[in-house]
Amino acid sequence: MIIPLFLGLALSAPALAQHPLDPLTAAEIEAAVKIVRTAKSLPEGVFFPQVALKEPLKAEMKSWKPGAPLARRAGLVVFDRTANALSEAVVDLGAGKLVSWTTRPGAQPNVMLEEFDKFPAVVKADERWRAAMTKRGLDPDKLWVDLWAAGPMSTSEKTTGHRLLRGLAYVVEGNKNPYAHPVEGVVALLDTNARKVIDLVDTGIVPVSKAPGDFDDASNPPARPGLKPLVISQPEGPSYTMNGHEIRWQNWVFRFTLHPREGPVLYQVAYQDGDKLRSVLYRASLSEMLVPYGDPDPNWSFRNAFDEGEYGIGRMAGPIEPFRDAPANAAFIDADFADDLGKPYKVEKAVAIYERDGGLLWKHLDVFVANQNQSHRARELVLTFIATISNYDYQLSWVFRQDGTIAAECGLTGIMLAKGVKAQTAAELHQDPSGHHAHLVAPGVVAPHHQHFFNFRLDFDIDGADNRVVEHNVRSAPEGPGNPMSNSILMEETVLKSELKAQRDMNLASARKWKVVSASAKNALGDPTGYALIPGENSIPYLLESSSVRQKGRFIDHHLWVTRYSDDELYAAGSYPNQGEPGQGLPAWTKADRDLDGQDVVVWYTFGVTHIPRPEDWPVMPTHTTGFKIMPNGFFARNPALDVR
């Protein structure tokens, strides 16, 4: 049935799945865990770091018709801490049975929510850690411990073969923002298998900053004069409809889910062009994030977060607060996840959906014909969620536009990761060689230089799965008879025919962009139908190629990768980057150099933000918005928004 969405309303997912791509319901999560526990006789202490839909094979979905039977499966990651063993299970929910069980020797799952809750107490009980805090004049019982994935490990750390975490300390007493008061110089290495601290790095005492770092209203008087009301009103309700997890709006039709690892995922994105529903994307999602910090200090060099693979951004979703995190006309969708023990729980208002003003859609003022003004206002549909990963907050939005464009918008806000220093002024910091890797944001507090890399996996199906990827480069024509006024601009197209040839980088000098086109469908002008990937802000990585972090996250080596479709190739840095081996994911898959021309292709786009901190980013960072868009390029024969009234 069609579910009307009313302003500000929170909607739960349907109790029963209505479509093969719908996320698991709470009942299905509970059933899947019970089936695995029974089939493998698992003890109560075994963990389930991920329980999610095991998506049908793409070939199955391509041939599936609504109402036809299709096996409903769940995929589970199972971790036995006692045995330090990770396995993957697949359950057939309809048949009520375990259909596969695969062990992954040496693999470690993401940091679990249970570990954030329980293991800080293990750090605080360690006598060496307590002595280090007492030496600094701090009460160990009044500190807060934040846990990180192990990151790059020494040879001795690797040889333990155990699951490792690192603990950082902050002064929380009297502070609403403990991140502003780091206890510098002390890092605890925690063996979660043995439930003890196995090493403590102490590089010396640095005074804890006394500078205020709170950013709540009461801590920052006086308030500027308030604004007069800005009213967002849709008295007749929104213009979109949602049927289960399918959304229809302004010729767009797509499905969505909130995945515990990937966050919001789009499926089967299509455009209603007259009487024909034309495919654009089969699946689109954030594949991986990497945040490398540029401070070589021994107690900082491990701080390189694979935010998706090491933590799982979907499960880090928090409730979206109406009127603050989303506008007044937003509707909200809950999400069902499994906790670490496999028990279902609900995140209320995990996803928001709303329409917003999109600026000028198109316009022309014809001053020669009675000053006739043809002007149309645009509207956009936004699907958004927000994940809080310790100090940083990330908003990820998919934005649909009336001209056939889809934008991915990433908003970076929250609190920068801070380092305690002795310097109280910028001049003092500049005199310290170790201060060249950071900028002072408060007396005694610096924010190290760092980067944020995002990799999006875009499984294009432009009018079908037989696609090819074309690179556009622009150049000036040489002087000569063919260019007598030296003004000729040429655009050259190159087909990226294989996976190794499709490892490409941005080039400002040639206005480089990439286009995915159909190998068989043509528009009314005779050109292949296609969509162009339009880059936005981007950066190169400043990690040297010899860096162990870059070796593990080699998706940042190139802005563009293209692979031949495979159902199991989902994550740019591999399935298990936590304590994982280098070279997983894209570099491993593309070694085969598979043919891409006229094939079912997947585009992987990497973009980066190089963050050189400013004082204005402290103590909480104004939202920095970045991203990219995919825009019709020959998909239509003319402006598709001419029918907007």
392, 531, 571, 576: the catalytic one is 392
Tokens at 285, concatenated:
């999602």
Strands annotated E in 513-620: 513-522, 528-535, 560-564, 601-611
**Angle 307-312-315 from CA coordinates, rounded to 5°:** 130
CB distance 503 to 524 below 8 Å: no
Which class for 82: exposed (0-12), middle (13-18), buried (19 or more C-beta within 10 A)? exposed
Closest residue by Cα to residue 340 from 35, 143, 48? 48
What is the spatial distance between Cα 108 and Cα 525, in angstroms, rounded to a whole number?
Answer: 53
Return the closest-CA partner of residue 187 out of 173, 172, 203. Answer: 203
Separation of alpha carbons 258 and 92, rounded Å: 21
* Cβ atoms of 498 and 567 closer than 8 Å: no
What would the two tokens of residue 451 be?
């980067």
Q: For tokens 């005779």, what's the residue?
A: 526
* Cα dist from 54 to 92, 323, 386, 421, whole Å: 9, 35, 24, 48
Count CB atoms within 10 A of the CB of residue 336: 22
| Buried b / exposed e along 503-514 (16+ C-beta atoms within 10 A) | bbebeeeeebbb
Q: Give me 52's structure tokens.
A: 């999610």
**CB–CB of 165/192 below 8 Å?**
yes
Residue pair 414/437 in contact by the 8 Å Cβ criterion: no
Catalytic status, residue 307 = yes
Task: Judge if the upstream peptide bond of residue 619 is cis by omega within 30 degrees of 0.
Answer: yes
22 is catalytic: no
> At 47, phi and psi to the nearest 5?
-105, 155
* Pick from 47, 55, 61, 58: nearest CA to 74: 55
Is-contact 351 332, C-beta < 8 A? yes
How far is CA 574 from its chain centroid? Answer: 15
Closest Cα to residue 247, out of 11, 52, 531, 570?
A: 11
CA 52 to chain CA mean position, Å: 17
Amino acid at position 95, single letter = A
Residue keyed to tokens 């360690």: 126
DSSP run (H or E) holding 127: helix 127-135
Q: Which of 126, 307, 336, 617 is catalytic?
A: 307
Distance CA(554)–CA(588), nearest Å, equals 10
Residues 6+ away with beta carbon under 8 Å from 15: 25, 27
Provide the 8-state DSSP code for 548.
Answer: H
Structure tokens at 516: 């995915």
Q: Are the beta carbons of 18 and 25 closer than 8 angstroms?
A: no
Which active-site residues does the annotation give?
A: 307, 392
